[in-house]
Structure 1
Amino acid sequence: MTIAGCDRREYAMSVYVSVTGFRPHRGPLRLARFWWRTMLAARQARAAPGNLRVVMGSVDGVYHTLTVWTDEASMRAYVRSGAHRRAMIGFRDLGGGSTLGFESDADPGWDAAYARWQREAKEA
């Protein structure tokens, strides 16, 4: 398991948590396109208003993101704009995935968020 994170600031408030998992189809061109779009979307997320944290990692060939936001509206504004929106246009050609979003009293951390994603995620 590989996990890399970026904490923007300390916070103690209710937050919105988004956890995604994506399994790319095989093939070097698809994987290259996936990584290019992933890096652009991650950079956008780190700079997005309301973003508190971005964690990226892989578990058993599934690539995950954990993002923590001040509120759901900020996360949805990010999803519908820029690099993330462009990545979603052709994502089914690149693979398949599952998502989970939920409110929390605090950042649950990677382990708890991943465990919840395993139990509750819905196919995208």
Structure 2
Amino acid sequence: MGHVSITGLRLRSVFHAPLFWLHAMPSYRAAERAAGALSVEAWQAGGVQYTLTFWESFAQMRAYVRSPVHAKAVRVFDKIATGETYGCAADTLPSRVEAQRVLAEKGRSYG
């Protein structure tokens, strides 16, 4: 069984967009190359920047989360955005619509 991770970020201000993208793009590329990453998706809907990743295991997802590029992005998060995160064991990757629904219902708020 794999692990699904869903995040949704809302920028605090449009002026934070350059800093967001400065960190988001390297984090996305690192996720694509991370050991155990089976699927990495990102999209925008309703003013929210979403990510949906599917991993071979929880441990591999945690290794990516602790990677230097992701850790650097997390350090600026509170300054530029608010959001939710949700993760769970899964056999398949949910659709984007389903991921948005699950995040709205079960996501943990931060920022």
TM-score by length of 1: 0.84
d(CA) in 2 for partners of 1:67, 1:82: 18
| Structure 1 position 123, deviation (Å) | 0.7
Identity of aligned residues (%): 34
Aligned length: 110
Structure 1: state its 5+ residue gaps.
1-13
Q: Hey, what does 2:11 align to over in structure 1? A: 24
d(CA) in 1 for partners of 2:100, 2:9: 13
Task: Decide which structure has greater helix share.
Answer: 2
Q: Hey, what does 2:42 align to over in structure 1? A: 56
Distance 1:109 1:15, change over 3 A: farther
Name which one, 1 or 2, has greater alpha-carbon Rg: 1
d(CA) in 2 for partners of 1:116, 1:47: 26
Moved over 4 A (4+): none
d(CA) in 1 for partners of 2:92, 2:19: 34
d(CA) in 1 for partners of 2:14, 2:104: 26
Q: 2:64 aligns with which of 43, 62, 78?
A: 78
Distance 1:27 1:110, change over 3 A: closer
Q: Hey, what does 2:98 align to over in structure 1? A: 112
| Structure 1 position 111, deviation (Å) | 2.2
TM-score by length of 2: 0.93
Q: 2:54 aligns with which of 68, 72, 82?
A: 68
> Does the 8 Å CA contact 1:25/1:31 hold for their aligned counterparts?
no
Structure 2: state its 5+ residue gaps.
none
